[in-house]
Structure 1
Amino acid sequence: MNSQARSRAATNPTSDVTEFDYVIVGAGSAGCVLANRLSADGKTSVLLLEAGPKDSNIWIHVPLGYGRLFKDKTVNWMYQTEPEPGLDGRSVFQPRGKVLGGSSSINGLLYVRGQHEDYDRWRQHGNSGWGFDDVLPYFKKAEDQQRGADDFHGAGGPLPVSDLIHADPLSAAFIAAAAETGIPLNPDFNGAAQEGAGFFQTTTTRRGRRASTAVAYLRPARDRSNLHVETSALAQRVVFEGRRADAVEYRKAGTLRTARARKEILIASGAYNSPQLLQLSGVGPAELLRKHGIEVVLDAPGVGQDLQDHLQVRVVMRCAKPITLNDIVNHPVRRILAGARYAAFRQGPLTIAAGTSGAFFKTNPRLATPDIQIHFLPFSTDKMGEKLHSFSGFSASVCQLRPESRGSLRIRSADPAAPPEIRINYLSTEVDRTANVEGLKILRKILQAPALRSYVVEEVDPGAKVSSDEALLNYCRARGSTIYHPTSTCRMGSDPLAVVDQRLRVRRLEGLRVVDASVMPDLVSGNTNAAIIMIAEKASDMILEDR
């Protein structure tokens, strides 16, 4: 392509072949950050491709709207695992965002970074530049902390991090009950230490709206002439010239289009779609690729391996007072009043995130850091995304922070629209099984503590009949489910199975990086969205340094 043709292509993103400095595949938690930072100079041309639609669904912007979006296929990939041996052969639903903002547009909004030790462990595994002291500046750079800047927090960044607007008495009582069992109070899970009980902070604006990365990062950059955004554009494959990534083929409105990258292609499609795209492009386990008739560009057996996720196991309580979200949703007048309150003041129960208060604790005093996270919710349901219970109820879930279980992601065919085969292998190790059982036992002590006694009628699920360790483990197998934190399928490192190096470049290839949750060497000890945004902030600096 001559220089004149390149110029025409770069300014006409609707042509069949276009050319940009950077092509980003995926406008999720990482992709929107990359698009903002790489286009900030007004000169560097950037194309951002998103398989889903614009974030125009009203429920995306209402915090409690995640319940409405949980099984909405217009904004959700709605994946399923293969039958999980450790969960009685059940397939586990895997919601992932398919919309501008990705999963940050449909997630539970909690802002949790994980433990300092998580990132030091990344560094100790050979990933220089990824220790906590290295990544803290990027957490701070991203953050507009409601409480102001300090040693651990930043103010004035793109991402609002806010205190809860609707702090109900049940959530406060949970914190008091945890303290009564010996868990210290902690006003900031993202400060000096994570251990303790307290309120979560959320990625919401000060006016009670969701602050997805599409809102926080992409919206302020949309008017830049050098940034082009294509929605409903499904990437088909990365095209290589030898070992160099040259272009991305994508399908939009029934037409196959090609976007060439002068500098780099950045895959930011998440822990499931990034390894899927690499495999479709000929980068992955050679035997798998040949099975589906895909020409092997690079035999990379680590692509799609080391899949990790957090399991959650919930306890449901019947509440003695009609103060839960169940009572509001199931009462037509109270439901209308709650909607009106949110519309007028951006306050009330519609601002509730997927966890109001919570706790981090150790199941064994010999552990150096907490291995369990509790999410407390002032409502209850059989399954997330389904109707709330007809009775007054609240719930709390156990989440093992550093599971040993590992799974995989593999394409089923050469069709980019076909969902991948997902195997997570929950509860496949004794450490994981023991941690979940012990976590449930400690959670039950909290829920039976004096501070909650006046609110509790009974434990509905699993119920008093489930008391032995064996019965609790069986309950974990029967009712455990994802808490939506898949990672590590394009893992960073220097060992033979590592997919990207410490600068997130795909090893043994040129012009190609992966920037999202899939590059995590292992799971962080908490919710993943904050860490993904940090990864993209750091990656943006590395990309600009390397150009």
Structure 2
Amino acid sequence: MITRDMTALRAVNGGHALLRAYDFIICGGGTAGCVVARRLAEGGKATVLLLEAGGSHHVPAIMDSTQWMWNIGTERDWDFVSEPSVGLNGRTPPMPMGRALGGGSSINGQVWARGHRNDFDSWASLTGDASSSYERVLDIYRRIENWHGRPDPRRGVGGPVDITLPESPIPLVEALIASADGQGIPSADDINTDPMEGDGGCGLPNVLVRNGVERVSMATAYLDPVAPLPNLHVLVGAEVERIGLRGSHVGSVVFRRFGQRYEVEVIREAVLSLGAINTPKVLMLSGIGDPAELASHGIPCHHALRGVGENFQDHILLGGCIWEYETPELPRNNAAEFAFFCKSDASLPTPDLMPVLEECPFASEVTARQFDLPVGPASAWTLAPGLARPKSRGRVRLRGADPALVPAIETNFLSDPDDVRALIRGVEICREIGNDLRLAGFRRREVMPGALRGGDLEMFVRNASGTYFHQSCTARMGRPDDPLAVVDPMLRVLGIEGLRVADASIMPEITSANIMAPVVVIAERAGDFIRQTHGLG
């Protein structure tokens, strides 16, 4: 049974009774949803409801920036798991996604990486929309950022998101920068400027951390400042099940909370900001998707869009190249205070590798059994090879018409041999850096993988690889003649009035860096488009 009486439900901000209808309903209070909710609620001209399946971000496990890894697998994680991947020797790696206000920005490693110039220029080419280009996106970044590092005309100051460099990083970091620079990966004061416009570089990542230990999520940056607004209602514990359609127009949103289903009316628009797994799931449960896929689960097809759930992409993070400390060192800041971008092949136009320091032993479930890992978070450090430009593609499918069923995530990791070759080179580069003489005082021994070659090294890569937590591209933005396009350049779902998508699923291709910052750009653009459409100023 579905109830339309909202009076028993109260928003967490101010205890307001929920309305039966809202101008705008944002489905998902993650990284993008928090941004869109703020932009639509500002000015008080429209009523806005933000629905989040998880709970509040104001808990110690989220706010402590050094503890982010320990949120994985808890109630603050959707706890998704990949289907078996042939390219990973049949393994089923976990696929963490944030389940709390702030979403991924509340449980991730807090790295602010803008993406490469070529990423956005490629989006502009693929969609025919110049507003996706790097130069236009730079303007959006400038208004988002409150940059506390070296001044640069490409950076923003005074925006809602505090961005800084790690404060007093562990001593290992300086040696890693010197080693990488010596290997031909130039050090940079700001890894988000020249390295993201050229052939890469190394250095301290931009981080969303205050006072060395306090996380800056999109919930704290965007949502908390507007929480007192009476026209913004935020409801946690509300899991969106489907969009109610009236012909080709959005009419309502159906969600479940504590076992009860509710339906709230949409006056102007609904926005899906549920992430690259749940956004295609809700679209398909609403009858929007591949007709054959929907028919196989007995779901009537209201609008055929074959690309829903297709084109799944994710960065690969490999666990990992590990060295035991000579002198144990506890993690600081975001526990990942060094990163670099480089090319596996000099002929490539864009860096395709994005390794990162993990200030603890970091291994897969297979490699952890194969090697003699030190015990304890301060015992060892890891250079984790990362793949920035994967060629492998997967998809997200329904398991059935019941919204309670977890979708099938066919990651298809390492199905393209070029991805394997790139990661093999990534392991080699990380070992060259980690075994450099400049790091002699920081390593007692190399734990793994050691000097593997040929098939043994390939097997290690397949056994060690998993997600970088950057699921994307399952409702991609494209031209009208793109057979897999789901949204247009203004993020409107093709063929459906009053419905947009604003999250990582709209990426035509994944950006060549951590995706939180580009997702904030996507959400800011969605806010602009919606405000312009409805005259909100």
Partner of 1:409: 396
Of the three residues 522, 536, 542, the one matched with 2:523 is 536
User: Would you say the 8 A contact 2:64–2:215 is kept in 1?
Assistant: yes
Code of the aligned partner of 2:342 = F
CA deviation after TM superposition for structure 1 residue 101, in Å: 0.7
Counterparts of residues 58-457 of structure 1 (less than 5 Å): 58-72=60-74, 74-128=75-129, 129-147=131-149, 150-194=152-196, 195-206=200-211, 208-325=213-330, 349=331, 351-383=332-364, 389-390=375-376, 392-457=379-444
User: What per-residue deviation string (whole Å, max 9, x for no partner) do you get for residues 266-293 of structure 1?
Assistant: 0000011100100110001111212222
The CA distance in 2 between the partners of 1:388 and 1:144, in whole Å, is: 39
Of the three residues 481, 496, 501, the one matched with 2:488 is 501
Partner of 1:478: 463
User: Would you say the 8 A contact 1:59–1:65 is kept in 2?
Assistant: yes
User: Would you say the 8 A contact 1:324–1:379 is kept in 2?
Assistant: no
Code of the aligned partner of 2:303 = L
Code of the aligned partner of 2:464 = R
Cα distance change, pair 148–217 in 1 and its aligned pair in 2 (3 A): farther
Cα distance change, pair 261–480 in 1 and its aligned pair in 2 (3 A): same
RMSD (Å) for aligned C-alpha atoms: 2.2
CA deviation after TM superposition for structure 1 residue 149, in Å: 5.2
Code of the aligned partner of 1:380 = P
State the SS of the aligned residue for 1:431: helix
Q: Structure 1 residues 83-92 or 251-260, which shifts more?
A: 251-260
Code of the aligned partner of 2:441 = S
CA deviation after TM superposition for structure 1 residue 203, in Å: 1.2
The CA distance in 2 between the partners of 1:62 and 1:276, in whole Å, is: 32
User: What per-residue deviation string (whole Å, max 9, x for no partner) do you get for residues 165-192 of structure 1?
Assistant: 2411111111111112121111212113
CA deviation after TM superposition for structure 1 residue 313, in Å: 1.5
State the SS of the aligned residue for 1:276: helix
Code of the aligned partner of 1:98 = R
Of the three residues 18, 36, 48, the one matched with 2:20 is 18
User: What per-residue deviation string (whole Å, max 9, x for no partner) do you get for residues 215-259 of structure 1?
Assistant: 110011110000011110111110000000111011123322111
User: Would you say the 8 A contact 1:317–1:457 is kept in 2?
Assistant: no
CA deviation after TM superposition for structure 1 residue 208, in Å: 3.2
State the SS of the aligned residue for 1:118: helix
Code of the aligned partner of 2:81 = Q
User: Would you say the 8 A contact 1:381–1:388 is kept in 2?
Assistant: no
CA deviation after TM superposition for structure 1 residue 59, in Å: 0.8
CA deviation after TM superposition for structure 1 residue 537, in Å: 0.9
The CA distance in 1 between the partners of 2:183 and 2:261, in whole Å, is: 60
User: Would you say the 8 A contact 1:487–1:517 is kept in 2?
Assistant: yes
User: Would you say the 8 A contact 2:209–2:334 is kept in 1?
Assistant: no
The CA distance in 2 between the partners of 1:162 and 1:416, in whole Å, is: 40
The CA distance in 2 between the partners of 1:253 and 1:126, in whole Å, is: 41
The CA distance in 1 between the partners of 2:256 and 2:293, in whole Å, is: 24
User: Would you say the 8 A contact 2:250–2:498 is kept in 1?
Assistant: yes
CA deviation after TM superposition for structure 1 residue 369, in Å: 2.4
User: Would you say the 8 A contact 2:364–2:465 is kept in 1?
Assistant: no
The CA distance in 1 between the partners of 2:47 and 2:27, in whole Å, is: 14
State the SS of the aligned residue for 1:246: strand
Cα distance change, pair 431–263 in 1 and its aligned pair in 2 (3 A): same
CA deviation after TM superposition for structure 1 residue 206, in Å: 4.3
Q: TM-score, normalised by structure 2?
A: 0.92
CA deviation after TM superposition for structure 1 residue 458, in Å: 2.3
State the SS of the aligned residue for 1:534: helix
User: Would you say the 8 A contact 1:307–1:406 is kept in 2?
Assistant: yes
User: Would you say the 8 A contact 2:21–2:267 is kept in 1?
Assistant: yes
State the SS of the aligned residue for 1:259: strand
The CA distance in 1 between the partners of 2:346 and 2:462, in whole Å, is: 26
User: Would you say the 8 A contact 2:364–2:464 is kept in 1?
Assistant: no
Cα distance change, pair 221–455 in 1 and its aligned pair in 2 (3 A): same
State the SS of the aligned residue for 1:408: strand
State the SS of the aligned residue for 2:177: helix
User: What per-residue deviation string (whole Å, max 9, x for no partner) do you get for residues 384-416 of structure 1?
Assistant: 9x9972483110111111110000001111122
The CA distance in 1 between the partners of 2:8 and 2:229, in whole Å, is: 18
CA deviation after TM superposition for structure 1 residue 114, in Å: 1.1
Cα distance change, pair 388–537 in 1 and its aligned pair in 2 (3 A): farther
Cα distance change, pair 401–255 in 1 and its aligned pair in 2 (3 A): same
The CA distance in 1 between the partners of 2:392 and 2:212, in whole Å, is: 40
User: Would you say the 8 A contact 1:152–1:192 is kept in 2?
Assistant: no
1:39 is aligned to 2:18: no
User: Would you say the 8 A contact 1:181–1:449 is kept in 2?
Assistant: no
1:516 is aligned to 2:503: yes
Cα distance change, pair 198–92 in 1 and its aligned pair in 2 (3 A): same
Code of the aligned partner of 2:134 = F
Q: What runs of 5+ residues in structure 2 fail to find an aligned partner?
A: none
State the SS of the aligned residue for 1:439: helix
User: Would you say the 8 A contact 1:6–1:19 is kept in 2?
Assistant: no
Q: Structure 1 residues 365-374 or 401-410, which shifts more?
A: 365-374
User: Would you say the 8 A contact 2:280–2:475 is kept in 1?
Assistant: yes
The CA distance in 1 between the partners of 2:87 and 2:103, in whole Å, is: 29
User: Would you say the 8 A contact 2:21–2:264 is kept in 1?
Assistant: yes
Provide the aligned length of Structure 1 versus Structure 2: 514
The CA distance in 2 between the partners of 1:10 and 1:382, in whole Å, is: 44
The CA distance in 1 between the partners of 2:264 and 2:431, in whole Å, is: 54
User: Would you say the 8 A contact 2:321–2:430 is kept in 1?
Assistant: no
Cα distance change, pair 463–36 in 1 and its aligned pair in 2 (3 A): same
The CA distance in 2 between the partners of 1:7 and 1:363, in whole Å, is: 58
